[in-house]
Structure 1
Amino acid sequence: MTTELEPLGPETAKQMYLDERQQELADATLQSHDYRLKQFVQWCENEEIDNLNEFSARDIHRFRVKRRNEDELATASMKGQLATLRVFLRFCVSIDAVQAGLDEKIILPTTTADDARDELLSRDRAQKVLDYLERYRYARLEHALLEVLWHTGLRIGAATGIDVEDYRSDDQYLALVHRPDEGTSLKNGSKSERLVALNDRVCLVLDDWLEVNHPGVVDDHDRTPLFATKRSRLSRNRGRTIAYQYTRPCVYENKCPHNRDIDECEARPTEYAHKCPSALSPHPVRRGSITHHLQSDTPERIVSDRMDVGMDVLERHYDQRSAREKLEQRRQYLPDG
């Protein structure tokens, strides 16, 4: 027997889904689902789909093609997009918003190790970005944030959760603390808590940021965030925008590798920086940082502990060294005798 569906708009369904999953998903995961579903809701609006009762398998196909061809999603990103859409539609089935079985129509693409590491900030690009910030935005929020992200490989959620008191300038480290009751959780809970060493350069930037440009605000829990706007703690979304904004080649070297007119480019305004094909979110910055550490002969176990990433994940998603590079790096640890 066919279930009688009850009308429901995409935006309302999205909010109901997020409310339902708020208690079971980590903050970072919930925010990722929110971001991915925003793309879906926007597509529905553009296609004039205002009632999910009408959503069909053919619509799934059209959305998939749009994200793959027009938005140029990599395979790994497409898999994440569709996986979120599938669990969202499964929820919609449970509340009689779409036909039963519609979620099962979504087939996830198969990813390989190469797909998992297809996007990263290279050491050379990172240096150009940081040199630009040092010259034109020294010790401002974006400079302090990207210096820390590149040097430490932190997830954006971990970075935005750091307080001023978690930064120890004299001892040159950051303390990562899991505070879920105060809105700043770590991906792996208390297991992600650790001390992260900093170098002289990063500490100098952070010291100058705190002394000269930090707005001195507190958040809703009376904590003073290390990374803050004039209003409150830096949000993950704003952190992502900063990464997109300053990894555009037209910003740090005033030229476009895509042969676009810089002044007329749709990705020129900050709010549309993500539309630049070369712009990177914080995760490729993290991936690039981890790869750089590995290529600089930092032992895998040290990288694993510092970046809070399992050894198996490190190998599959981040390690871009060739077999020959690994051989030569291992050679230095051989005994003389």
Structure 2
Amino acid sequence: MTTVAPSTAVRTYLDHLSVERGLAENTLASYRRDLRRYLAYLDQVGITDLSGVSEATVTEFLARLREGDADHQPLSATSAARTVVAVRGFHKFALADGMVTLDPAGAVRPPRPAKRLPKALPLSDVEAILEAAGEPETPLTLRDRALLEVLYGTGARISEAVGLDVDDLDLPPGEPGGTVLLRGKGGKERLVPLGSYARTAVEAYLGRSRPGLVASSTPGGALFLNSRGGRLSRQSAWTVLVRAADRAGVSADVSPHTMRHSFATHLLDGGADVRVVQELLGHASVTTTQIYTLVTVDNLREVFATAHPRAR
């Protein structure tokens, strides 16, 4: 097989991406930048023939990306992964085009980005937000308190909470709590317990606030209504939470997902089994829920480091 210079192969590949695959100019510029760095590395290690590239060559290039060098800052896992994807695509093309007989990059896996741990609020912040949502007591603040108690008390997604109908509640007389039927992704339903605090707030809203908000146009028994009698929107519910957090003086970024994360984390901190939390959150796989266990492990490490006499 004839010798193929890496720079020639890269030009051919970029032409292929531009002409045959029609990639956007911004995407092409990204490929060009990543492959230019790869070519510089191949030149640095003395590889002038594309067939001289081995799996070890590509693996070492990935290590250089993560470590950085005199001319480049270390790349994050996400940025390094993007560059490796460009290199893998290039070598796959070179093999398919007959430039080489082996693909040295096929077995090199891009680095996985670090898992982002969910941000959970301390219980004191959650309680301050819930209190602030209900003050001063008006029809709308009764609704707001009930909404946020349901979000935190059930771990509901914001879309699930605003999608609730009155008939989705089961509040048996003489019992402190109840249940609520949540409809999650893909139309999957789950029955979630409603604690006494959430039930008290919901009953206060149903008895003293919602009747005054109902209008002739109110859709099919929607639970949470806006001031015009329509179903409360996701955006409005988000605003309810943000305003309550501001009034409570909570400086952390707060979103409906924050309440859901806090629900899960506080349950696990309290000793709940991860599979129970999985069911409550409506996760299809326990793997999705297990990211919350990383948060509680961090809490354990903190306690250990400060409390154990030989921790340090």
User: What TM-score comes out, normalization by structure 2 length?
Assistant: 0.54
* Aligned-partner residue type, residue 282 of structure 1: P
CA displacement, residues 25-58 of structure 1 (integer Å, 9 cap, x when unaligned): xxxxxxxxxxxxxxxxxxxxxxxxxxxxx98469
* Aligned-partner residue type, residue 311 of structure 1: V
Q: Which residue is equivalent to 1:173?
A: 178
Q: Which residue, 141, 146, 152 being the options, matches 2:154?
A: 152
Q: How does 1:177-196 map to 2 (within 5 A)?
A: 178=183, 186-190=184-188, 193-196=189-192
Q: Which residue is equivalent to 2:49?
A: none
Q: Which residue is equivalent to 2:114?
A: 112
* Aligned-partner residue type, residue 241 of structure 2: A
Q: 1:294 touches 1:300 (CA, 8 Å); kept in 2?
A: yes
Q: Which residue, 257, 262, 271 being the options, matches 1:283?
A: 257
Counterpart secondary structure, 1:176: strand
Question: Matches of 1:246 and 1:55 in 2, distance apart?
Answer: 45
1:208 correspondence with 2:210: no
TM-aligned CA distance change 1:229 to 1:323, over 3 Å? closer
TM-aligned CA distance change 1:140 to 1:149, over 3 Å? same
Counterpart secondary structure, 1:288: helix
Is there any run of 5+ residues in structure 2 with no aligned partner, and where? Answer: 1-17, 31-75, 80-109, 302-312
CA displacement, residues 236-273 of structure 1 (integer Å, 9 cap, x when unaligned): 1111222222223xx114xx86xxxxxxxxxxxxxxxx
Q: 2:152 touches 2:260 (CA, 8 Å); kept in 1?
A: yes
CA displacement, residues 101-133 of structure 1 (integer Å, 9 cap, x when unaligned): xxxxxxx996322x242x232212101111223
Percent of counterpart pairs with the same letter?
22
CA displacement, residues 246-301 of structure 1 (integer Å, 9 cap, x when unaligned): 223xx114xx86xxxxxxxxxxxxxxxxxxxx331101110011100111112222
1:230 correspondence with 2:227: yes
Q: Return 315-324 or 156-165, whichever deviates more.
A: 315-324
User: What TM-score comes out, normalization by structure 1 length?
Assistant: 0.51
Q: Which residue is equivalent to 1:34?
A: none
Is there any run of 5+ residues in structure 1 with no aligned partner, and where? Answer: 6-53, 61-74, 80-107, 179-185, 258-277, 327-337
* Aligned-partner residue type, residue 242 of structure 2: Y
* Aligned-partner residue type, residue 162 of structure 2: T
* Aligned-partner residue type, residue 226 of structure 2: T
Q: How does 1:23-34 map to 2 (within 5 A)?
A: none
Counterpart secondary structure, 1:112: coil
Q: Report deviation, 1:162.
A: 0.7
Q: Which residue, 274, 286, 292 being the options, matches 1:311?
A: 286
Q: Which residue, 245, 248, 258 being the options, matches 2:243?
A: 245
Q: Report deviation, 1:224.
A: 1.2
Question: Matches of 2:170 and 2:195 in 1, distance apart?
Answer: 12
Q: How does 1:127-146 map to 2 (within 5 A)?
A: 127-137=127-137, 140-146=142-148
Q: Which residue, 266, 291, 297 being the options, matches 2:271?
A: 297
Question: Matches of 2:144 and 2:231 in 1, distance apart?
Answer: 13
Question: Matches of 2:293 and 2:226 in 1, distance apart?
Answer: 31
Aligned alpha-carbon RMSD (Å) = 3.8
* Aligned-partner residue type, residue 123 of structure 1: L
TM-aligned CA distance change 1:303 to 1:134, over 3 Å? same
TM-aligned CA distance change 1:319 to 1:123, over 3 Å? farther
* Aligned-partner residue type, residue 273 of structure 2: P
